[in-house]
Structure 1
Amino acid sequence: MSPETWIAFLATASVMLLIPGPTILLVIGQSLGGGRRAALPLVAGVAAGDLVAMSLSLAGLGALLATSAALFTALKWLGAAYLVYLGVRLWRAPVAAGGPLPLTAGAAWRQAFIVTALNPKSIAFFVAFVPQFLDPARPFPPQAAILVASFVTLAAANALFYALLAGRLSGAVRRPGLRRALNRAGGGMLVGAGLATAALRRAG
């Protein structure tokens, strides 16, 4: 892979990542409720989920998802149901005056990982997107490793930006009424992301 091809991949991936999807809506929603303390575990979960999803897509799962309606539908409904579940939990979460809603590091990581890794559209997209930047005349594993590492790094930086931004807003709010409104805004975003995921249609 030439340096020019790698730069083109970085630019294209960056543009794609700037458009918020279910993962970023999860990060925003949980950061609004959990504050900046949830940022790093959420970002780590996003990075791990993208690593798994992109690696599986390059290993052939993306092609299988593109041809198997049953598998695509199963993953779609699993991801959608989990997003709605998280949204309802955040909406109904109790509010403590004077501080953000506690969210353990393990829970934040797990939620971000599951939502990112279970996004069937991302896996199918990776299998169509990444090969365009591979040089068939060069060995596949080193090129794939570079592209996976580059995308995961960009995705983590993007998630960190949104998490810190939402966490800053959450930390500035102390009154229980406003805190509850933030939780419900975040919960509503997660439910909306779940419904949008459920409405996904398989390409082709």
Structure 2
Amino acid sequence: MSLNTWLLFLVTVFFVSATPGPNMLLALSHGIRYGVRRTLPTLAGLLTALGLIMAGSAAGLGAILAASELLFSLVKYAGAAYLIWLGIKTWRAAPQPLGQGPDSGSRAEGSAWQRFRTGFLVAMSNPKAFVFFTALFPQFMDASAPQGPQLMALAGTFYVIESSWQLAYAAGGSRLRSWLNSPLRLSWMNRFAGGSFMAAGVALSGISRH
């Protein structure tokens, strides 16, 4: 692809990734609760799912989801149910005192594997992502040129930008730790995060594959 095409893709993805959604909200909320270092497993889960979604889209799964109303609906409602469940769990969570250091945290706050799994499931919960990549990538590809190198360039660019924004959200959350470290503010933070996850789940249940 030409340099101009790649730069256009870069700008497009920069603003798409910056838009707050379930992935960025999770990075922010875990950054607040665990600090940046302990949120890295969460980001690893989000990015692992992202890689699988891009690979599945390249393999044609996105086109299958776009063509099958039943399959799309099954994935959609399963993802929506998970986000709503996560939102209820977060809303009802008792305020836990945050550590004083930027990356401190207790074992009671969950293992690295639990945070990785949460990140993975949140990122995988939206079937629209498969359709998004299937629709987005071809717009910036030259059909007359080899497809493999172009897909790798686009996927690599998206991966770097997405991971940078996730890290920025986690770091921003970490900076709020000292201000939020009171039972009342933590309770409101849990309700805000939980409500946002539930709203995302409800919104996801209403989307169309078109």
TM-score if structure 1 supplies the norm length?
Answer: 0.90
* Partner Cα distance (1:76, 1:38) in 2: 30
* Partner Cα distance (1:35, 1:180) in 2: 18
Structure 2: gaps spanning 5 or more residues: 100-104
Query: What per-residue deviation string (whole Å, max 9, x for no partner) do you get for residues 123-157 of structure 1?
Result: 10111110111112221111111111111111111
Q: Does the C-alpha gap of structure 1 residues 80 and 70 become closer, same or farther in structure 2, counting only changes over 3 Å?
A: same
Contact 2:80 2:125 in 1 (8 A): no
- 1:194 pairs with one of 163, 188, 201: 201
* Partner Cα distance (1:183, 1:171) in 2: 16
Bigger mean CA offset, 39-48 vs 26-35: 26-35
The alignment-based identity, stated in percent, is: 37
Contact 2:39 2:170 in 1 (8 A): yes
Query: What per-residue deviation string (whole Å, max 9, x for no partner) do you get for residues 154-176 of structure 1?
Result: 11111111122123213432222
- 2:163 pairs with one of 156, 168, 173: 156
Matching residue of 2:121: 114
Task: Give the 3-state SS of the residue equivalent to 2:180 in structure 1.
Answer: coil
Amino acid at match of 2:175: R
**1:26 Cα shift?**
2.7
TM-score if structure 2 supplies the norm length?
Answer: 0.88
Query: What per-residue deviation string (whole Å, max 9, x for no partner) do you get for residues 154-202 of structure 1?
Result: 1111111112212321343222222222122111111111111111112
**1:59 Cα shift?**
0.8
Contact 1:35 1:171 in 2 (8 A): no
**Aligned ranges for residues 90-169 of structure 1 at < 5 Å?**
90-99=90-99, 102-169=109-176
**1:86 Cα shift?**
1.2
**Aligned ranges for residues 79-90 of structure 1 at < 5 Å?**
79-90=79-90
Contact 2:33 2:98 in 1 (8 A): no
* Partner Cα distance (1:135, 1:13) in 2: 18
Q: Does the C-alpha gap of structure 1 residues 82 and 30 become closer, same or farther in structure 2, counting only changes over 3 Å?
A: farther
* Partner Cα distance (1:98, 1:108) in 2: 16
Amino acid at match of 2:92: R
Q: Does the C-alpha gap of structure 1 residues 42 and 97 become closer, same or farther in structure 2, counting only changes over 3 Å?
A: closer
Structure 1: gaps spanning 5 or more residues: none
Aligned residues: 203
**1:9 Cα shift?**
1.1
Q: Does the C-alpha gap of structure 1 residues 174 and 131 become closer, same or farther in structure 2, counting only changes over 3 Å?
A: same
